[in-house]
Structures are given as C-alpha cells and as structure tokens.
Amino acid sequence: MRSSLSHTSISHYRLSRAEYDRAVEAGVFEPDARLELVDGDLHAMTPEGSRHATGMDLVAECLRRVFGAGFHVRIQHPVAADDYSEPEPDLAVVTGTIREYRDAHPASAVLVVEVSNESLRYDRTVKQRLYARCRIPEYWILALPDARLEVYRDPAEDGYRSVTRHAAGDSVAPLARPDARIFVDDLLP
C-alpha cells in the first residue's frame, strides 16, 4: 500500500516583520522569549553570560559618552531593518531621542554593535550580511574569544567591503563621530 504522503513536500513559510510584530503584540510568544526575526526566520538568541553582559555595558557606556546629544544608544531593542527582518542587536546607535521611537522601531542606525561569544560565527556571517544589505554604515563585533574589535564599513548587497580588526592598545573612531577615539581596552570585559 502506497502512502498518500509520499509526494508531499515541506515548504518554508517566510514570516514578515508585520506578522511577527502582530504575533508579539498578541502574546503568541512567552514574555521572556529571546527571539529575533532575520530574513523571515525566527532565531532564538543565545543566553547572556556575565562576560557578554559586562561587554555590553562597557560598550554602551563608551558609546553614550562619545555620541551624546542628538543620538540614542539602544540596548537589545529591535531595528526594523526591512520587511522580513527585525534583529535585536546588542547595541544600536540611532539618531534622535528615546521618545522618537515610542510608536515604531528605528529603520536604521548609524552604528550597530554585537558583543559575541557563542554567536561569533553567526554575527560574522548572517548578521553582517543583513546589516550591510540594510545599509547600516558601520557594524562592530566585539569578539570576546579573540579579545578584539572587528569594524565593518562600506556596506554592499553581499556584505561589508572594509573589515579591520583592533586589539587591546588600539583605538577606533566611529564614522559618525570621526573626532572621537574609543579604546578597545575600554570595551573588553
């Protein structure tokens, strides 16, 4: 006897950002679920260890000091990157003030930062291509296993064209604040 399921194929459903936002608002996911939408797929975010948390706090402190008025540093909040992506980067520097994003997440950022440990490969590939495709001008990865800062600039459809790596003792100036210096030592936990 032949099964009627033998010719059934499994298809992939691509979730839009609008559908994802409605599901979040409707309480479809557990309140403490750590999810993000990337290219129509839901991804579980890795648990936050103490080194990761310390790195995020150190980066946030530096970015707030450097960017100041006219910018807002968001910590693990969504960016409405495109119709099928709503990533939640560890940090995003956006123009404006906190209240400007009361009714909608920002669609872009001047700088996005991921503090990476277990997610390092994912952040270097999937996230890097997403942020470049969405024309985020600058993307940083604080690579905890390597104790270095990776700086991605010059976005294109398939990724960033410029990548530099900076270790302890080095400093970096964000594109949006070229007169400022951020020391890698100040970012590392």
From first to last of the 189 residues of the chain, give the pLDDT tens digit.
444 455 556 677 788 888 888 888 888 888 778 888 888 888 887 778 899 999 999 999 999 999 999 999 999 999 998 889 889 999 999 999 999 999 999 999 999 999 999 899 999 999 999 999 999 999 999 999 999 999 999 999 999 999 999 999 999 999 999 999 999 999 999
Can you give the pTM of this predicted structure? 0.86
User: CA separation (Å) from 187 to 39, 40, 66, 148, 173?
Assistant: 30, 32, 13, 9, 13
Q: Within 10 Å of residue 13's Cβ, how many Cβ atoms?
A: 7
CATH architecture label of 48-187 = Alpha-Beta Complex (3.90)
Those residues whose C-beta lies under 8 Å from the C-beta of residue 71, and which sit 6 or more positions away, are 93, 94, 95, 96, 110, 176
**Length in residues, the chain:** 189
- What digits encode the pLDDT tens for the residues 103-157? 999 999 999 999 999 899 999 999 999 999 999 999 999 999 999 999 999 999 9
Residues 56-93 as b/e (b if ≥16 CB within 10 A, e otherwise) read bebbbebbeebbeeebbbbeeebbbbbebbbbbbbbbb
Rounded-to-integer distance, Cα 90 and Cα 113, Å = 6
